[in-house]
Each structure stands twice: as structure tokens, then as C-alpha cells.
Structure 1
Amino acid sequence: MKYEDVGRKYEDRQKASAAAKKAMLERLKPKPHIMDPDLEARKAAAAAELEAVRAARNAERAAKRAAAAEAERLRLEDEAITQEARELDLRARQKEARDLRYAARKQNRK
């Protein structure tokens, strides 16, 4: 084997290594991509759909809040009526007890 043959084998290996590195770098490069002409229209449609969903969700939340507020108002009103009825009942019992005491005093005077 001659010295020149060894040098050629080394050069071949170097060239193959360089070609492999180049191929590896080519695979990592970003691929040119084609711009979709309908991309903007699809984005606008998606944004409009998202806005519609958000508006519907917000309307639903507002309706739930209004229903909860109405239920709370009715509960407070019912509670107030119940409290008023309790006070009236208490006053009636107190008046009845007072009337009984007055009647007992009158009976004792006779």
C-alpha cells in the first residue's frame, strides 16, 4: 500500500464527513412554506366565532346573575315578611297577656 493511497482514503473520509454534516444542516434549516391565501379569512372567522361564544357566555352569566339577584331579593322580602309576622304575633301575645293581667286586677278589685 502506498502512502498516496492512504492519503486518498483519508481525503475520502473527510469529504464524506463534510457531506454528512452538510446534509444534517440542510435537514435542520427551516423549510420554505407556502402562505395560504385563505389564512386571514380563516383567522377572522375564528375570531368572530370566538367573540360570539364569549358574548353568549357573558349573556348567560348575566342572566344567571340577574336570576340570583332576583332570588336573593325574593328571599329577603320573604324573610322580612316572616319577621314582620313574628313581630305581629309577639305583639298580639304580649297584648293578650297584658289584657289578662288587667282583667285579673279588675277581678281582684271587686
Structure 2
Amino acid sequence: MIESFKAAQAAAAPGLAARSAERVEIARAREARRATRDAERLAEEQRVAAQEAALAEDQLQLEAAEIATRDARQSAQDKRIALVLSDEAARKAARDQRYAKRKAAQQVA
């Protein structure tokens, strides 16, 4: 029985080595495909992260531009208000001066 077992092992040895080599090649190919998938996944994640960062940067620039526009508009409005107030004050001062002249002329006469 032992002799038949050894004979069977000896007969299977060339096929066993070939199957073992084939399994190793299959495992290497599987590992290579896994590494390729992982690299593609990582590249995609990096691309998405870069795209999100670019969108965030664009959003920040847009918000900064909106703030600058709003500040410029507010500044222009403040200048117009100041100009209107100074014109109103000058007009009132001129009116008061005319009244004062008229009053002085009435007191002299």
C-alpha cells in the first residue's frame, strides 16, 4: 500500500508542480489586478478631491467678489448721502445768510 501511494505521488509530482506553478501565476495576476484597481481608485479619489478643492476655491473667490462689490456699493451710497447732506447744509447756510441780510436791511430802514 505504501508503495502504491509513493508511486501515485511520483506520478502526480510533475502535474503537481505544474498546478502549483499555475496557482502561483493566478495569485500573482490576481494581486496585479487588485493593485491596479487600488491605484485607479486612489487616482479617482485624488481627482475628485482636487475637483472639490477647485470648486471650493472658486466659491471663495466668488464670495470675496460679492463682498467687495457690496462694500463698493455701500461706499458709493455713503458718499452720495454725505454729498446730499453737505449740499443740504450749504443750501441751509445760504438761506440763513439771505434771511440775516434781509433782517439787517429791515432793521436799518
The two structures share one fold, judged by TM-score above 0.5? yes
> Hey, what's the Cα distance between the residues in 1 that align with 2:44 and 2:25?
28
Task: Detail structure 1 runs of 4+ shifted over 2 Å in the superposition.
Answer: 30-34
The C-alpha deviation readout for 1:25-56, integer Å capped at 9, x for no partner, is: xxxxx697361343111111010000000000
Q: What is the letter of the counterpart of residue 43 of structure 2?
A: E
Aligned residue pairs total 81
1:33 — aligned with what? 4
- In structure 1, stretches of 5+ residues that fail to align are 1-29
Q: What is the letter of the counterpart of residue 11 of structure 2?
A: D
Give the RMSD, CA atoms, in angstroms.
1.5
Identity %: 21
3-state SS of paired residue (2:4): coil
The C-alpha deviation readout for 1:84-109, integer Å capped at 9, x for no partner, is: 00000000000000001100000001
The structure with the greater share of residues assigned to helix is 2
- In structure 2, stretches of 5+ residues that fail to align are 84-109
Q: TM-score, normalised by structure 1?
A: 0.69
Q: Which residues of 2 match residues 43-62 of structure 1 at below 5 A?
A: 43-62=16-35
